[in-house]
Amino acid sequence: MMDLALTKLTQLAFGYWQSQTLFALTQIGIFEAVADQPRTGFDLAQELQLDEMAASALLRAGVTLGLLREQEGEYGNSELATRFLTSSSQEDLTEWVRTMSQWVSPWMRLEQVVRGEAPKGLEQARLSKNSSDERRFILAMHQFARRTSDRVSEALDLSDARVLADIGGGAGTYSISLCRRYPFLKSQILDRPSVLPIAEEVIAEAGLKDSISTSACDYRFDSFGDQVDVVLMSNVLHQESRQVGRSMVQRARDALRAGGAMVIHGHFLDNDHVRPTFSVLQDLSATILWQGGGNYTVGEVEKLLEAEGFDDVRSERIPESATTLCRGRRA
Ligand SMILES: C[S@@+](CC[C@H](N)C(=O)[O-])C[C@H]1O[C@@H](n2cnc3c(N)ncnc32)[C@H](O)[C@@H]1O
């Protein structure tokens, strides 16, 4: 009989073998290289300047994991890879997978961080001038979030709103979805100066240049505007300390008109702190990646809103994205 407890332990211990196989195949560009026609291991090794034996082991691991297919010595993409890991697919998640592979190095320091050493994660990347890493991160978040952004928008009734401030709005994923749904809504993305050209590119591609503008902002200190109808903070609070989070909510309140809506969206924890699994692991990830960062429980977000003078505070889980929308109205 199968020992389920041992199976669980071995899955946990070997888990990174699978991730690393996916990351290596993606970073080396195997999925793109075989997108048009299947190739032999020898051809791929020649073209991509790989060690032939190691490449062969990697390709076979890709087959075992359901990422590649092999027929008569030629490798092609599986359905999963064709759908998610090739640039011609509408559902391409390559940038997102590449970003996940960059998080391996900060995650390797989990033990040291827990022992009290400072995280050396994306905090540095965030402050660095490495624009290709930045572009990758912003597009990665967009690739992933756009899959479910319409489900999040559907849960928000903004039919009376005209002005939205999207704090740390990134590529504009949620502004795009909301402005498509509410044609009278104008959104302003407030993000770091280096992110704005990336957002502008994505907004232009979406044909929403007249509805969505961008403005440079350091959300840790700057004002979020005046007489705004809605302030959206999506997937940002976990990157900051509690102190910064409180200040952000206070400045959101100051920016809103009376009766305006505050919307906080993210992978919040259940109030028992141990569910859902992704949110719990994202909490750990934020601890490693962002100095002072960490996830909130839904109850903590609600208390924060109430403490800062919002009423009609409520929360709603969005099953498709496994996220939660917490809302309050400026009294
Ligand atoms: C995880 S992404 C979330 C993007 C988008 N809101 C979403 O939900 O998909 C975090 C965003 O916060 C922005 N950000 C980080 N630090 C910031 C700061 N100090 N001021 C303004 N934006 C910041 C990043 O540039 C990035 O766009």
Question: How far does residue 35's CA lie from ligand 1's centre (Å)?
Answer: 33
Pocket test residue of 123, 175, 191 for ligand 1, highest count of atoms within 8 A of CB = 191
Q: Check whether 143 has a pLDDT greater than 90.
A: yes
With cut-offs at 50, 70 and 90, classify the pLDDT of residue 70: very high
**Residue 233 near ligand 1, beta carbon < 6 Å:** no
Give tens-digit pLDDT for 101-140.
999 999 999 999 999 998 776 654 554 456 788 898 999 9
Q: Which pLDDT value is given to residue 122?
A: 61
Entry pTM: 0.94
Pocket test residue of 192, 233, 265 for ligand 1, highest count of atoms within 8 A of CB = 192
Q: Check whether 298 has a pLDDT greater than 60.
A: yes
The residue whose CA has the least distance to atom 19 of ligand 1 is 218
Query: Which ligand 1 atom is nearest residue 145's CA?
Result: 9
Question: How far does residue 13's CA lie from ligand 1's centre (Å)?
Answer: 32
For 297-322, letters b (16+ CB in 10 Å) and e give: bbbbbbebbeebebeebebeebeebe
Across 60-81, average pLDDT: 98
Across 55-84, average pLDDT: 98
Q: Which pLDDT value is given to residue 199?
A: 98
Judged by average pLDDT, the poorest of 19-23, 99-103, 308-312 is: 99-103
